[in-house]
Amino acid sequence: MAGRVDSVLERLAFRRMLRRWSRAADEAPQMDLSQLRAMRGQARQMRRELDRVLHQAEFRLALPVIGTTAIRRPAGTDWAWRPELWKGPIAVSGLANVSGREPVCDGATVFHDCRRSELTFRQIRNTRGSDVAPFGFRMDVFRFDGSFLSLVLDLPAEAVEGLRLRHLIRLDVIVEMEKPLEIFARLNIKHGPNVEQLVRELPLHEEEVMVEFDLAYAKVNEKRIEKMWLDLIFEGPEMNQIILRDVTVCRRPRAEV
């Protein structure tokens, strides 16, 4: 009840203040100079505080909302997912001298085989008007004497519930780089004691960076599928900054012919 009264009083106070400054603006052309000078000082003080509020409001309201579930879903999609790394803040937002097997957050791990690590990573806040994911993931690679660098993403259990060989698995990525490099996506499907791997190169030269894995070409026992995970493999990453603005995965049954 007290909160409701305070809210009413605040609205009344705001309306009175708005009327006061509206009246002052109307009277300013004929106002006494000493009075106008005092009014100008008050207006400048108020403008500084208003500008601070507007600056924060414009910045924060332009950001994608944390925890958003907005994902592009092609027709027929029966499951879609954005990893937590791009959806919400993680416990440790950044790390330098990344080890050969470094967990980023639950379900995401960086792997490399460098003898001396000159790799850093950081979760960043997306701020562009075109961004849908609240967060991005940046890797800065300096000297690189290893043979591979990869980001491994564990797909949740829901990804394999009801999964059949007639399904297509689609991966969409928004990526930025300082200089060109090749990125490969490898889908790993564990069925019983075996693991089937499907590899696609991301078409980084195209406007829409996406690949599809057709399970019809996988040698998989669909009745024994246990889990799936994705490897994003970066070829020749030395002296480069790589920003993954968004990563989403979805699946849909192939159209019947």
- Predicted local distance difference test score (pLDDT) of residue 130: 80
Q: What is the pLDDT of residue 47?
A: 86
pLDDT band at 208; cut points 50, 70, 90: confident
pLDDT tens digits for range 122-136: 999 998 878 889 999
CB 247 within 8 Å of CB 209: no
Query: DSSP assignment, residue 34?
Result: H
Three-state DSSP state, 97: coil
232: phi then psi, degrees, rounded to nearest 5: -100, 115
Mean pLDDT value across residues 192-209: 93
> Which has more confidence, 154 or 132?
154
Q: Looking at the predicted structure, is the pLDDT value of residue 167 above 90?
A: yes
Residues facing residue 112 across a β-bridge: 149
DSSP 116-141: S--EEEEEEE--STT--SSEEEEEEE
Beta-bridge partners for 150: 111, 233
Give me the residues paired with residue 195 across strands: 190
Query: Which tokens belong to 77?
Result: 């999609």
Residues 227-252, mean pLDDT to the nearest whole number = 96
Whether residue 224 has pLDDT greater than 90: yes
Residues 214-240, mean pLDDT to the nearest whole number: 94
- Please name the residue that has the structure tokens 């994003």: 232
Tell me the pLDDT band of 117, cut-offs 50, 70 and 90: confident
* pLDDT single digits (tens) 14-64: 899 889 989 989 999 998 998 989 989 998 998 888 888 876 776 676 677
- 3-state SS, residue 11: helix
Query: 104 pLDDT exceeds 80?
Result: yes
The residue-averaged pLDDT of 248-257 equals 84
CA 167-233-157 angle, to 5 degrees, is: 40
**Across residues 64-85, what is the average pLDDT?**
86
- Comparing 22 with 207, which gets the higher pLDDT? 22
Residue 3 has pLDDT above 70, yes or no: no
Whole-angstrom distance, CA of residue 171 vs CA of residue 157: 17
Q: Which of 212, 253, 217 is nearest to 230 (CA)?
A: 212
Distance between CA atoms of 234 and 104, rounded to whole angstroms? 17
Per-residue pLDDT at 93 = 87
What is the C-alpha separation between 233 and 245, in angstroms, rounded? Answer: 16
Model pLDDT, residue 59: 64
Q: What is the mean pLDDT of residues 222-240?
A: 95
Mean per-residue pLDDT over the chain, rounded: 90
pLDDT at position 11 is 87
Rounded CA gap, 224 and 213, in Å? Answer: 19
DSSP 50-81: HHHHHHHHHHHHTSPPTT-------TT--EEE
- The confidence score (pLDDT) of residue 72 equals 83
Nearest in space to 98 (alpha carbons), one of 144, 155, 167, 50: 144
52 vs 43: CA distance, rounded Å: 14
- For residue 100, give both structure tokens: 């050969």
pLDDT of residue 65: 76
The 8-class DSSP code of residue 5 comes to H
Burial of 130 (0-12, 13-18, 19+ CB in 10 A): exposed
Say what the pLDDT of residue 6 is: 64
Can you give the pTM of this predicted structure?
0.78
Mean pLDDT value of segment 52-77: 77
